[in-house]
Amino acid sequence: MKRSKRYSTIYIWAGIIASAAAVSMVIFPAVILDSAKQGIALWASSVLPALLPFFICADFMISLGIPGIVGAYFERPFQKLFGTPGASAFVFIASVTSGYPMGPKLIGQMRRRGELTDREGIRMLSFCSTSGPLFMLGTVGAGMLHSPAAGAVVAVSHYMAAIVNGLLLRLFGKKDKGQRKCIRTRYAEPTVAKKTMLEILTDSIISSLKTLGIICCYIIIFTYATDLLEMTGALSLLKNSHDSGFVKGLLEMTIGVNEIAASEEIGLRLKCTMAAFLVSFGGLSIFAQSISVLGGMKISPFVYLKLKLSHGVIAAIIAYMSAPYILNRAVQNVGLFSNSTGVFQPGFLMQLLFSVRMLIIIVILFLFTVIIELILSWRKETSD
């Protein structure tokens, strides 16, 4: 009874907010028109070309059973470390390669196919919901912060925080009642064996376009919300531009990070820290996109929100601690020396070094975990 009453209250508030938004669009048509143009332009120029090929390929590979083949080799280490099936290795790689919201999309799709439990899906979300390296190294680092090294700070802290987040959820989250055995037969055959390759590819294209259409709508909605806050003067109460950017970033990550990067009131170290939090949290726009593609999976939005908040906090801590070393100690100071500049600007070779270093760190971390698991299993078998 209480639960149904709570849901009715949520629907009432949703109706009130939607009505208020509709009225505001009638009162301020120029704002919604400009927001829609900005959102569609951002989607068409950045999101669509970056994500569509990955979405189609990932959907096609899932239909062919590729995650199952990969999962058969990673089942034991991922069960021990994260409490997730081995297929989460495929999801993590796809998420790291393409960015938001690839990870949640694949998790939702695998859950609908019956390849995951709800608890496994939640655990996978803790470390398989990530941004892409191109966005952090290129857009955030070289483009917004004007320092590829700063992009490396954000990227390294983001991916390391994702792994730590998954390990912490495994250690302090709800425990499984029984130890799940490795079931290799689950990965034997694809579930769409009766379809032709062309039909599978067509289904993948339709599914990907549908998901990208949903993402476009959410980008427009949250761009409008951000512009409306700016127009009403609600953000004028914040004294500093980076504070205003941080609040905007909680709604739409890219807008917030761009405003923080343009601020002249804080140093590069703090900019990297705030950017790492916002990129890892993703903003409510990414949050809504991710929830929308998790259809069929029983997860409370507040649970996923907690996972992303913890991801953001861990990433911010790692970024703040690692920034002086990655930036070669050329960091803008904060406080009395906020006007002093000494930002390290690497050239093309240094940019390549930082990007390769970041990818190498990710590969080494996973290989290290797999090797440890194999050694422990071998010792256990020899002792028995």
Question: 353-382: per-residue pLDDT in tens?
Answer: 444 444 555 555 556 555 656 666 666 666
pLDDT average, residue stretch 183-195: 50
Whether residue 47 contacts residue 335, with contact meaning beta carbons closer than 8 Å, is answered with no
Q: Measure the CA–CA gap between 78 and 220, rounded to whole angstroms.
A: 37
C-alpha distances in Å from residue 370, one per residue of 75, 89, 121, 176, 256: 10, 11, 21, 22, 37
- Tens of pLDDT, residues 228-238: 887 877 777 77
More confidently predicted of 173 and 113: 113
Q: Map residue 117 onto helix, strand or coil.
A: coil
Asked whether residue 190 carries a pLDDT value surpassing 70, the answer given is: no
Closest CA to 95 of 165, 29, 170: 165
Q: Which residues contact 314 (CB under 8 A, 6 or more apart)?
A: 161, 164, 165, 280
Whether residue 104 contacts residue 129, with contact meaning beta carbons closer than 8 Å, is answered with yes
Q: Within 13 Å and on the Cβ side, how many CA atoms surround 342?
A: 12
Asked whether residue 182 carries a pLDDT value surpassing 70, the answer given is: no
Whether residue 282 contacts residue 100, with contact meaning beta carbons closer than 8 Å, is answered with yes
Q: How many CB atoms lie within 10 A of CB 185?
A: 8
- Tens of pLDDT, residues 30-66: 888 998 998 898 888 878 887 888 888 888 888 888 8
Q: Measure the CA–CA gap between 126 and 110, rounded to whole angstroms.
A: 16
Q: Which residues contact 226 (CB under 8 A, 6 or more apart)?
A: 35, 248, 251, 252, 255
With bands split at pLDDT 50, 70 and 90, how would you rate the model's confidence at 337? Answer: very low
Whether residue 220 contacts residue 40, with contact meaning beta carbons closer than 8 Å, is answered with yes
With bands split at pLDDT 50, 70 and 90, how would you rate the model's confidence at 98? Answer: confident
Angle at 129 between CA 128 and CA 133, to 5 degrees: 95
pTM of the model: 0.77
Q: What is the DSSP string of 166-235?
A: HHHHHHHSPPPSSPPP--GGGGSS-TTTTS-HHHHHHHHHHHHHHHHHHHHHHHHHHHHHHHHHHHHTGG
Burial 154-175 (b: 16+ CB within 10 A, else e): bbbbbbbbbbbbbbebbeeeee
Q: Which residues contact 270 (CB under 8 A, 6 or more apart)?
A: 242, 320, 334
Whether residue 331 contacts residue 268, with contact meaning beta carbons closer than 8 Å, is answered with yes
Whether residue 35 contacts residue 220, with contact meaning beta carbons closer than 8 Å, is answered with yes
